[in-house]
Amino acid sequence: MMKKYLVVTLASSLLGAIAATALVPSPSLPQATAQQPRVLGPPVARAFVPADGLTAEERTNVGVYEAVNRSVVNINTRTVQTNLFMFGSELAGAGSGSVIDKQGHILTNYHVIQGAREIQVTLADGKTYVARPVGIDPPTDVAVLKIDAPAESLFPVTLGDSTRLKVGQRAYAIGNPFGLERTLTIGVISSLNRSLPRRGGRLLKQLIQVDAAINPGNSGGPLLDSRGRLIGMTTAIASKTGQNTGVGFAIPVGNISRIVPELIRHGRVIRPEIGITRVYETGRGLLVASVARGGPADRAGISGFRIIRERRRQGNIVYEVQRVDRRSADLIVAVDGKKVTTVEEFLTRVERKKPGETVTVTVVRKGRKVDVSVRLAESES
C-alpha cells in the first residue's frame, strides 16, 4: 500500500504541474509547431537501456557462458573401498572436465578419477559415455580421458595464455558443484604463483588463486578469461569444511599445454631421472643417503651412505653387525650453479632438463666443493 500511495502521489503532483504550466504560458518557451512540439519543464536526462536489457558486464558474463558451457562435461566415477575384513563398499564420486579436441579427449584432474573402476562422462546434450584414461600425471594432478562420441557432439574449449594474467583480472569458472551441471561462478584472480602441498611431499606449483566460488564437483572444470578462453583448470579449495571459502586454486593452462600432448602420446609425462633415491634435508643442503646402483648419479660418482658390515664374536658365537658410515656421503648444495636446500628445489632444477641432457651438481665432499656432471636418464614412472 505504501508503494502504491507514493506512485499515485507523484503522478498527481506531476499532473498538477503540467496543468499549472498549461494555464500560465511562459514567454521564454517557444511556441509549439506541427514540426516541433513545445517542451514543458527542464529536459530530463534518460539512461541508455540496451535492447536486450543487459549491462555491458552482464553481456560479457552471458557471452562467456554461452560460448563455453557446451565444452564442459560432468564426470561421475565409481570406486571400491575395502576395509580390514576385505569387504568392499562402492563409492561414487563426481567432478568436471573440458573437451579439448574433436577426437573425444577430456581434460580433468587426476584426483577426480584416482582409483576409479568406472568413469562416465556426460556431455552438454545430456548423453553419457564410458570414458577410459589415456594418460595421468599425479605430480601435477592432470589426467586425460577418452570417450567415443561423435565429433558433432564435441565442442573443444579454446586455449588462452596464462603467462599474461594479472591480479584483479576477471575469472570465470564453469563446473558441476554438488552435481549441478554447468554452473557458472564469477570472481577475480586473487594471486599468482601459489604453491600447495600434495601427498608424497611434492608441491603443486605456479597455481592461480581465485575468489570465484569453487565447491566439491568443480574440480577439473575450466577457469576462463573474459573472452571465454581457457586460462586454467580448477583443482583445489582452501577450506576446513571442504566447501567454498573464497579461496580456490587452478592449474595454469601454460603447464597443461606442456603436459597434455605427452599424456596423449605416451600415457605419462617423460621426466629426467638422476638416480638419487634418498636424501636428508640439513639446512645447508641435501645429504645423499642412497643412489640407484648403475644409475646416472652412481655412474657420475655421487656417493651416499656406506654400509659397513663387521663380524663380532661373543663367546663361541660369531655374528654379523652393520653400521652406517655417513662420512662418505656427498652434500648437494647447488644444481647448475643455483643453490638448493630442499628436495622441491632440487627436483625443480633437475626436471627443467630433458632425458639425455647433462646437469651440474655441486656437492661438498670431504670439506671441499666439487662440481659433478650427471647425464640424465629417462624416468620409468
* Percent of residues, the chain, with pLDDT higher than 70: 81
User: pLDDT value at position 214?
Assistant: 86
Is 23 contained in some domain? no
Is the model's pLDDT at 7 over the cut of 50? Answer: no
Is 207 contained in some domain? yes
Is 211 contained in some domain? yes
Please check whether residues 323 and 357 belong to one and the same domain.
Answer: yes
d(CA 271, CA 298): 18
- CA distances to 28, 160, 235, 283, 289 from 341, rounded to whole Å, are 86, 35, 28, 6, 15
- Do 111 and 96 touch, CB atoms closer than 8 A? no
- CA distances to 83, 146, 319, 357 from 264, rounded to whole Å, are 35, 9, 55, 24
Residue 291 sits in which domain range? Answer: 272-378
Please check whether residues 262 and 286 belong to one and the same domain.
Answer: no
Neighbours of 46 (CB within 10 A): 6
Q: Is 13 a catalytic residue?
A: no
Which three three-digit cell numbers place residue 74?
Answer: 560432468
Is 333 contained in some domain? yes
Number of domains composing the chain: 3
Degrees to nearest 5, angle at CA 84 with 82 and 86: 50
Is 50 contained in some domain? no
Please check whether residues 256 and 216 belong to one and the same domain.
Answer: yes
Choosing from 219, 225, 298, 330, the catalytic residue is 219
Nearest residue to 136 via CA among 112, 154, 120 = 112
More confident residue, 9 or 64: 64
Report the predicted TM-score, pTM, of the whole model to 2 decimal places.
0.71
Please check whether residues 287 and 235 belong to one and the same domain.
Answer: no
Please check whether residues 262 and 276 belong to one and the same domain.
Answer: no
Sign of CA pseudo-dihedral 229, 235, 236, 241: positive
Location of C-alpha cell 592461480: 208
Please check whether residues 261 and 174 belong to one and the same domain.
Answer: yes
Neighbours of 295 (CB within 10 A): 17
CATH of the domain at 371: 2.30.42.10
- Do 284 and 332 touch, CB atoms closer than 8 A? no
Please check whether residues 307 and 371 belong to one and the same domain.
Answer: yes
User: pLDDT value at position 381?
Assistant: 63
Domain boundary among 153, 182, 212: 153
Which three three-digit cell numbers place residue 110?
Answer: 587426476
For residue 284, the 8-state DSSP code is S
Choosing from 71, 111, 225, 298, the catalytic residue is 111
Q: Which residues of 264-279 are buried (b: 16+ CB within 10 A; e: fewer)?
A: beeebbebbbbbbeeb
Give residue-wise pLDDT tens across range 316-326: 787 777 777 88
Please check whether residues 184 and 244 belong to one and the same domain.
Answer: yes
Q: H helices within the chain, ranges in order?
A: 2-23, 56-68, 110-113, 253-266, 296-300, 343-350
Is 7 contained in some domain? no
Please check whether residues 248 and 334 belong to one and the same domain.
Answer: no
Domain boundary among 232, 266, 300: 266
Neighbours of 284 (CB within 10 A): 11
Q: Which residues of 124-160 are buried (b: 16+ CB within 10 A; e: fewer)?
A: beeeebebebbbbbbbbbbbbbbbebeeebbbbbebb
- Do 100 and 137 touch, CB atoms closer than 8 A? no
Calculate mean pLDDT across residues 186-196. Answer: 92
* Percent of residues, the chain, with pLDDT higher than 90: 57
pLDDT tier for residue 36 given thresholds of 50, 70 and 90: very low
Helix (H, G, I), strand (E, B) or coil at 234: strand
d(CA 192, CA 223): 14
**Residue length, the chain?**
381
Give residue-wise pLDDT tens across range 329-367: 999 999 999 999 988 889 889 988 999 999 999 999 989
Is 328 contained in some domain? yes
Please check whether residues 279 and 352 belong to one and the same domain.
Answer: yes
Nearest residue to 145 via CA among 176, 169, 114 = 114
d(CA 44, CA 30): 18
User: pLDDT value at position 326?
Assistant: 83
Give residue-wise pLDDT tens across range 230-283: 999 999 776 666 666 678 899 999 999 999 999 999 999 988 999 999 999 998
Q: Is 111 a catalytic residue?
A: yes
Please check whether residues 142 and 84 belong to one and the same domain.
Answer: yes
Is 105 contained in some domain? yes
For the chain, the straight-line distance linking the first and the last C-alpha, in angstroms and rounded, comes to 74
- Do 97 and 106 touch, CB atoms closer than 8 A? yes
Q: Is 266 a catalytic residue?
A: no
Domain boundary among 245, 266, 287: 266
Please check whether residues 281 and 360 belong to one and the same domain.
Answer: yes
DSSP string, 34-87: SSSPPPPSSPPP-----TT---HHHHHHHHHHHHHGGGEEEEEEEEEEE-TT--
pLDDT tier for residue 38 given thresholds of 50, 70 and 90: very low
Break the chain down into helix, strand, coil percent, rounded to 5. Answer: 20, 40, 40
Which three three-digit cell numbers place residue 257?
Answer: 599445454
d(CA 348, CA 237): 24
Which three three-digit cell numbers place residue 104?
Answer: 573425444
Q: Which long-range contacts (CB under 8 A, 24 or more apart) does 60-63 make?
A: 60/170, 60/226, 61/172, 61/184, 61/186, 63/228
CATH of the domain at 224: 2.40.10.10
DSSP β-bridge partners for residue 77: 93, 119
Choosing from 137, 141, 225, 298, the catalytic residue is 141
Calculate mean pLDDT across residues 49-62. Answer: 84
